[in-house]
């Protein structure tokens, strides 16, 4: 039919005119401009090379237990957005590094092991009020050590993260920190989720629509009150606090040179 009907193969001018006609129709169906036979053949060869290269990468990964070691150049050949494209692996790795970096920073916020050592006079004032304890950097560090033994250290970590958030003025940084704090301490999927009532959670969800440095203000106050009423009295009556006072009392006085 192709040899006898030019209506079917409008570009037929020689023995291979039918092939060119098919290529012409194929390009129109793909929404591309018709090309000469040389360009069509070049495009076909390029597509074949791409497919062979991508298949080679996949075979190499399969042979090495799906280890993406040799997939660094996969993006050069990936034209079909296949899931094996190494750019996805690179993005996932970047996200993992970013997450780990933030988590290390969060752990380092007023780390109790790095807090200044208290002096006896300062430690004795912590019994006066919870406010006195929380205003003391050394007091927060010692209290956080006690919370760790009670498996409630996340309360202090959340409170400290909120304090850091309040100091931030850059809008973009504020939004990033708000999302991270929500993920770390508010989400029910987080192992460090703090205990908040439904009213405060509703407030947070509304505030998340327009994040600010005060998004978690109500939640921070509730956790502060929880520590004040629950953990603080136990710490003041604990052997940990008594031993701290004893150790500080037994230390020799510091003499000025």
CATH of the domain at 140: 1.10.167.10
Per-residue pLDDT tens over the stretch 208-254: 999 999 999 999 999 999 999 999 999 999 999 999 999 999 887 65
Per-residue pLDDT tens over the stretch 127-149: 999 999 999 999 999 999 999 99
Q: Please report which confidence band the pLDDT of residue 93 belongs to, taking 50, 70 and 90 as the band edges.
A: low
Let me know if residue 195 belongs to a domain.
yes
Let me know if residue 80 belongs to a domain.
no
Let me know if residue 33 belongs to a domain.
no
Residue 92 pLDDT: 53
Let me know if residue 45 belongs to a domain.
no
Report the alpha-carbon distance of residue 127 to residue 136 in Å, rounded: 12
Please state, in angstroms and as integers, the Cα–Cα distance from residue 155 to each residue in 97, 146, 220, 224, following that order.
25, 12, 9, 8
Residue 85 pLDDT: 44
Let me know if residue 240 belongs to a domain.
yes
Give me the number of domains the chain comprises: 1
Contact call for residues 235 and 146 (beta carbons, < 8 A): yes
Let me know if residue 163 belongs to a domain.
yes
Q: Tell me the residue range of the domain where 133 lies.
A: 109-250
Residues whose CB is less than 8 angstroms from the CB of residue 218 and which lie 6 or more positions away in sequence, other chains included:
200, 203, 204
Residue holding tokens 């993005």?
Answer: 91
Residue holding tokens 């202090």?
Answer: 156
Let me know if residue 149 belongs to a domain.
yes
Both structure tokens of 250: 């037994």
pTM for the predicted model, two decimal places:
0.57
Contact call for residues 25 and 10 (beta carbons, < 8 A): no
**Which tops the pLDDT comparison, 21 or 208?**
208
Let me know if residue 222 belongs to a domain.
yes
Q: Please report which confidence band the pLDDT of residue 117 belongs to, taking 50, 70 and 90 as the band edges.
A: confident
Per-residue pLDDT tens over the stretch 168-211: 999 999 999 999 999 999 999 999 999 999 999 999 999 999 99
């Amino acid at each position: 039919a192709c040899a006898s009907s030019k209506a079917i193969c409008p570009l037929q001018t020689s023995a291979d005119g039918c092939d060119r006609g098919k290529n012409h129709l194929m390009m129109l169906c793909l929404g591309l401009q018709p090309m000469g036979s040389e360009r069509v053949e070049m495009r076909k060869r390029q597509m074949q090379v791409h497919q062979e290269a991508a298949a080679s990468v996949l075979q190499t990964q399969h042979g090495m237990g799906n280890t993406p070691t040799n997939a660094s150049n996969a993006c050069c050949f990936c034209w079909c957005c296949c899931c094996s494209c190494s750019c996805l692996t690179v993005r996932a790795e970047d996200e993992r590094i970013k997450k780990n970096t933030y988590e290390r920073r969060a752990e380092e916020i007023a780390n109790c092991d790095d807090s200044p050592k208290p002096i006896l006079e300062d430690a004795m004032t912590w019994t006066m009020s919870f406010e006195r304890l929380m205003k003391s950097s050394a007091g927060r560090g010692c209290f956080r050590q006690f919370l760790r033994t009670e498996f409630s250290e996340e309360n202090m970590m959340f409170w400290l993260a909120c304090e850091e958030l309040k100091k931030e003025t850059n809008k973009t940084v504020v939004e990033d920190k708000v999302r991270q704090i929500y993920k770390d301490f508010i989400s029910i999927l987080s192992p460090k989720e703090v205990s908040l009532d439904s009213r405060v959670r509703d407030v947070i969800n509304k505030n998340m629509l327009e994040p600010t440095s005060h998004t978690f203000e109500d939640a921070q106050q509730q956790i502060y009150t929880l520590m004040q009423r629950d953990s603080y009295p136990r710490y003041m009556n604990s052997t940990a606090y008594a031993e701290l006072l004893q150790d500080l009392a037994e230390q020799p006085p510091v003499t000025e040179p």
